Amino acid sequence: MARFPDIRPGISLKPYTTLKAGGAAEWFVVARGLDELALAAEWSQGRGQNTTVLGSGSNILPSDEGVPGLTLLNRATRIDIRGNGEIIAETGCAFQELFLKAAQAGLHGLEFAVGIPGTLGGALVSNAGAYRSCVSEFLTRLEIVVEGRREWVPPSYLEFSYRDSLLRKPNPPQVVVLRVEMVLPRGEAKQIYDEAREYQRQRIGKQPPSPSAGSFFKNVTDTAFAQSLDGLPAPLRAAGVVPAGFLIEAAGLKGFSFGGAEMGRRHANFIVNLRNATAFDIYRLAQIVKHRVQDRFGVLLEEEVLYLGDWSRLAEP
């Protein structure tokens, strides 16, 4: 039987985020396995607490005011490769590790995961993907804790769409995803690794060395808008995809800074923490960028990064 994990108050979340910013969790638990994760989620939901799950902290920004309720650090990492391309993976596993295990088994489809610095759980929240692929394509069912109960549900339960899911909605339901079942097609080993190396090569050229959350804003999908933009590469115009970094750079905001936070100089869709930036600095910089891009192009960028905790006292710029 799993031991109930220790609950600690007032633990800073800054070390648990790739942006290295933010306040403290009201209550904090490290769940070192699947059953500990489920027990803590059931306990928290049963008491009506806000429940937040952290993996590698690569796509979140906790408020400087802190995060109320229970924050669960997910260390459930088991990956089981079964027959016929089936995989059972716990959501605390590294997304890149999941790709490597799948590739070693001759399974194709997760090559885009190379270089994504997050866990499977984080990938599910934002339906992570790249190069017109996404993780939800391969899911067959998910084990969750909801309303204090542990159960399996179909992928449709999480309402996946482009870089989005039910878990990103305003005031999302209290759902903790424990593990997933997925099926991947067989592939040829050389092609799998060649594709992965190419994705890695492209990411190395774009990602800054300073603390960041990866791509901060979602790309814009709008065929008419894409075709109206001078300088947008032809394949993107044809696909109707406008990279957020293209718009940010075209608005003259590459390298723009607020406080200790700066828009990436290597890739404009990264916010980097250069000088011990607060969560407020990063949030305020993001709002300035959104407003200026909207003024210039008439589109409102949407964050990939999730804001945790209370931001209500921050005024718009």
Contact partners, residue 73, CB within 8 Å, separation at least 6? 16, 28, 29, 30, 31, 54
> pLDDT (tens digit, 9 = 90+) per residue, 280-313?
999 999 999 999 999 999 999 999 999 999 888 7
For Cα atoms 146, 60, 41, give the angle at the middle one, nearest 5 degrees: 25
Nearest to 113 by CA among 191, 187, 182, 203: 203
Which H/E stretch holds residue 180?
A: strand 175-183
Does 304 qualify as catalytic in the annotation? yes
Residue 153: in which H helix or E strand, if any?
Answer: strand 149-153
Q: So what's the pLDDT on residue 215? A: 86
Active-site residue among 42, 143, 262, 304? 304
At 27 the pLDDT is: 96
Question: Is 50 exceeded by the pLDDT of residue 226?
Answer: yes
pLDDT at 199: 73
pLDDT for the residue 206:
58
How confident is residue 128, by pLDDT bands cut at 50, 70 and 90?
Answer: confident
Say which range, 25-34, 122-131, 137-146, has the weakest mean pLDDT.
Answer: 122-131
> Catalytic annotation on 215?
yes
Q: pTM value?
A: 0.89
pLDDT over 50 (residue 317): no
DSSP conformation class of 149: E
How far, in Å, CA of 271 to CA of 208, rounded? 9
Mean pLDDT of 137-163: 95
pLDDT tens digits for range 166-217 = 999 888 889 999 999 999 999 888 888 888 887 777 665 556 655 677 789 9
Question: Which residue is catalytic, options 165, 215, 284, 303?
Answer: 215
Q: Which of 244, 280, 235 is nearest to 264 (CA)?
A: 244
The active-site residue out of 26, 90, 163, 181 is 163
